[in-house]
């Protein structure tokens, strides 16, 4: 492999990783605080992609207005789901939560077909990001370069909010002892609602940002939810920087696997996850569960 090919594939792998991190970080945030395995996360991603298509291509609004609309719409949907339904299941067994989120998938899937049909759609690159940057020995697409920048920015922003703000301390405390937190006067149900809303909005934003580089088709949620679970398991459930490392590993394995071992490209991420779990069953940056 030449230097040009290596650089180009590494760049595409990084762009994929950063887009996947935005989506998977929302899933990881929800699990880390609420301890809910949200199978509907992939559907939120799909709705985000469809919404940016509607806003930017059908209505003619700027692309990034569509991205903001996708995040806002998924925040509203997620807040309604959490307040009306999900909050009643936090004390139930995980099977009940899984069945509930799977039911949300079925309902939203039918809703998506009713709204957008079953045709395949595409979204063009936003103005100013449709070209390429010339490095002399390789041309790098501007939109993928944008993804490589926005991913770390979101990671740093999430780290700052969770680790350096009072609200972040409250969120971390909610993962440890929500009864004590409620006794201190904190509105724990609203903390849970905010976490579920933010995590779901990240899925919507991630889907909107992915729209220019993928085809929008029914069922695209099934693939993305599997990939998100691979990323959070590799990195460690509930660990944000673990999701970042997991996304990097996933992106590079998928991209270089497509070039070097095309017949194995769909299997390689699962093999990577298996290898990590054999060495560290709790993930790269995760911690073993302690009994109570």
pLDDT at 292: 44
Tally of CA atoms within 13 A in the half-sphere of 242 that contains its CB: 24
Band of the pLDDT at 289, cuts 50, 70, 90? low
Domain carrying residue 90: 3-219
Is residue 142 included in any domain, yes or no? yes
Q: What are the tens digits of pLDDT across the range 136-184?
A: 888 899 999 999 999 999 999 999 998 999 998 998 888 878 888 888 8
Cα separation, 116 vs 108, in Å, equals: 12
All residues at 6 or more sequence positions from 43 whose CB lies less than 8 Å from its CB, including other chains: 104, 105, 108, 109, 112, 221
Is residue 282 included in any domain, yes or no? no
pLDDT at 101: 94
Q: What are the tens digits of pLDDT across the range 2-46?
A: 888 999 999 999 999 999 999 999 999 999 888 888 999 999 999
How many Å from the N-terminal Cα to the C-terminal Cα in the chain? Answer: 52
What is the arithmetic mean of pLDDT over 184-207? 94
**3-state helix/strand/coil string of 131-160:** CEEECCCCEEEHHHHHHHHHHHHHHHHHHH
Is residue 276 included in any domain, yes or no? no
Task: Please give the residue that has the higher pLDDT: either 289 or 217.
Answer: 217
Is residue 291 included in any domain, yes or no? no
Mean pLDDT is lowest, of 66-70, 126-130, 288-292, for 288-292
Is residue 259 included in any domain, yes or no? no
- The domain tally of the chain equals 1
Is residue 13 included in any domain, yes or no? yes
User: Does residue 88 contact residue 211 with C-beta atoms inside 8 Å?
Assistant: no
User: Does residue 128 contact residue 65 with C-beta atoms inside 8 Å?
Assistant: no
Cα separation, 21 vs 248, in Å, equals: 8
Q: What are the tens digits of pLDDT across the range 207-223?
A: 999 999 999 999 899 99
Widest Cα–Cα separation across the chain: 62
Is residue 239 included in any domain, yes or no? no
Is residue 16 included in any domain, yes or no? yes
Cα separation, 75 vs 51, in Å, equals: 13
């Amino acid at each position: 492999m030449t230097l040009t090919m290596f650089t180009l594939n590494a760049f595409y792998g990084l762009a994929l990783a950063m887009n996947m991190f935005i989506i998977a970080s929302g899933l990881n945030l929800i699990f880390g605080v609420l301890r809910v395995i949200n199978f509907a996360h992939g559907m939120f991603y799909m709705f985000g992609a469809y919404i940016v298509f509607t806003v930017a291509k059908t209505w003619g609004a700027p692309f990034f207005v569509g991205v903001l609309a996708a995040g806002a719409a998924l925040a509203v949907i997620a807040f309604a789901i959490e307040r009306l339904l999900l909050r009643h299941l936090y004390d139930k067994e995980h099977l009940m939560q899984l069945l509930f989120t799977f039911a949300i998938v079925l309902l939203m899937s039918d809703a998506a077909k009713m709204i957008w049909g079953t045709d395949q759609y595409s979204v063009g690159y936003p103005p100013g990001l449709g070209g390429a940057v010339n490095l002399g020995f390789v041309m790098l697409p501007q939109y993928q370069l944008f993804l490589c920048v926005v991913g770390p920015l979101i990671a740093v922003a999430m780290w700052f909010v969770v680790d350096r703000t009072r609200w972040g301390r409250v969120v971390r405390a909610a993962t440890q002892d929500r009864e004590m937190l409620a006794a201190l006067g904190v509105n724990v149900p609203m903390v849970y609602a905010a976490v579920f809303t933010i995590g779901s909005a990240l899925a919507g934003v991630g889907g909107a940002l992915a729209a220019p580089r993928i085809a929008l088709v029914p069922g695209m949620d099934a693939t993305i939810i599997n990939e998100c679970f691979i990323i959070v398991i590799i990195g460690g459930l509930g660990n944000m920087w673990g999701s970042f490392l997991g996304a990097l590993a996933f992106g590079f394995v998928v991209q270089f696997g497509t070039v070097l071992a095309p017949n194995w490209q769909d299997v390689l991420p699962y093999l990577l996850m298996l290898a990590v779990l054999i060495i560290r069953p709790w993930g790269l940056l995760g911690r073993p569960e302690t009994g109570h």
